[in-house]
């Protein structure tokens, strides 16, 4: 796996396929290879080159100590785009990755050709603030819960009722999260997020954007996702049914179709 140095750290990245580049930015607590389960094969088949990378704090990239900020992640990603000479490029981001993409479109539009923002938001409401605060208290306490418990909590929090009510499907997801739970090294990423309402800043975005919500998302619920689409001039909005925060893994066909259809236009 190749590496590059930017913003004082080393990032691991991979490139697949041939064609115009699409940079995929992963969310908190997950390595870039998660994109390769469903999204990079579909994009490569559609004629694009895909570029994935591990954000700081996870996977093969450096994990500097301390609490990371959204500005840290944006600077890392900007440096990667510049180092690989990708810009202006199409960008697909999910959750934290979508928030990074939003900030890039605001601050560095010359690097962004168009953007698809999955499960994003511009602010936190009372429930999301409470959830974030509780997670940070847990991390600061140094307590590490058993992987089996974390798997159950993650499945309940991240997936849709359609999956939770399917015994075969939910058993597979529980196994996956229990097996991978101990590999999460992204403690610093837990501090990344919006500390202020970014809707006014989003109104300055000039590049084409599509915002996609997952109907049963508890982390970035559709009403907060829709606010992003409403703020960005000319942005369109889609909602994928029967999908939770991991909708790109739960409903990959619908998500891939929505991504590729938009990228083909822009």
**Strand pairing partners for 252?**
none
pLDDT digits (tens, 9 = 90+) for 143-164: 788 889 989 999 999 999 999 9
Residue 189 sits in a domain whose CATH number is: 3.40.50.1820
Spatial CA neighbour of 60 closest among 16, 3, 22: 3
Mark whether 245 is an active-site residue: yes
Mark whether 217 is an active-site residue: yes
For residue 149, tell me if it sits in a domain: no
* Residue positions counted in the chain: 266
Torsion of CA 173, 164, 129, 209, to 10 degrees: 80
pLDDT digits (tens, 9 = 90+) for 128-140: 888 888 888 887 8
Among the listed residues 28, 95, 160, 243, the single catalytic one is 95
For residue 25, tell me if it sits in a domain: yes
Among the listed residues 12, 61, 216, 245, the single catalytic one is 245
pLDDT digits (tens, 9 = 90+) for 40-79: 999 999 999 999 999 999 999 999 999 999 999 999 999 9
Mark whether 95 is an active-site residue: yes
Domain count, the chain: 1
For residue 194, tell me if it sits in a domain: yes
For residue 138, tell me if it sits in a domain: no
Among the listed residues 54, 72, 217, 243, the single catalytic one is 217
For residue 176, tell me if it sits in a domain: no
Q: What is the pLDDT of residue 183?
A: 53
Instruction: Judge contact between 260 and 43, C-beta under 8 A.
Output: yes
C-alpha to C-alpha distance for 165 and 167, rounded to whole angstroms:
6
For residue 188, tell me if it sits in a domain: yes
* Full residue range of the structural domain in which residue 232 is found: 3-127+184-265
For residue 100, tell me if it sits in a domain: yes
Number of separate helices (H) and strands (E) present in the chain: 11, 8
């Amino acid at each position: 796996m190749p590496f590059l140095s930017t913003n004082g750290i080393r990032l691991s990245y991979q490139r697949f396929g041939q064609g115009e580049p699409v940079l995929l930015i992963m969310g908190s607590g997950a390595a870039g290879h998660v994109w390769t389960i469903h999204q990079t094969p579909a994009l490569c088949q559609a004629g694009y080159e895909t570029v994935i990378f591990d954000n700081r704090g996870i996977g093969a990239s450096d994990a500097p100590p301390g609490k990371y900020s959204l500005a840290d992640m944006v600077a890392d990603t900007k440096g990667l785009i510049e180092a690989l000479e990708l810009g202006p490029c199409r960008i697909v981001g999910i959750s934290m990755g979508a928030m990074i993409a939003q900030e890039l479109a605001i601050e560095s539009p010359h690097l962004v050709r168009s953007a698809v923002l999955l499960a994003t938001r511009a602010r936190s409401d009372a429930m999301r603030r409470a959830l974030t605060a509780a997670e940070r208290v847990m991390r600061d306490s140094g307590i590490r819960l058993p992987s089996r418990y974390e798997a159950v909590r993650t499945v309940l929090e991240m997936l849709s009722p359609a999956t939770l009510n399917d015994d075969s499907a939910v058993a597979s997801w529980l196994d996956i999260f229990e097996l991978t739970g101990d590999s999460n090294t992204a403690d610093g990423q837990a501090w990344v997020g919006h500390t202020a309402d970014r809707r006014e800043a989003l109104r300055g975005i000039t590049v084409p954007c599509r915002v996609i919500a997952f109907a049963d998302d508890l982390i970035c619920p559709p009403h907060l996702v829709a606010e992003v689409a409403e703020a960005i001039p000319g942005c369109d909005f889609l909602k994928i049914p029967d999908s939770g925060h991991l909708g790109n893994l739960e409903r990959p066909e619908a998500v891939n179709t929505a991504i590729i259809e938009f990228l083909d236009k822009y």
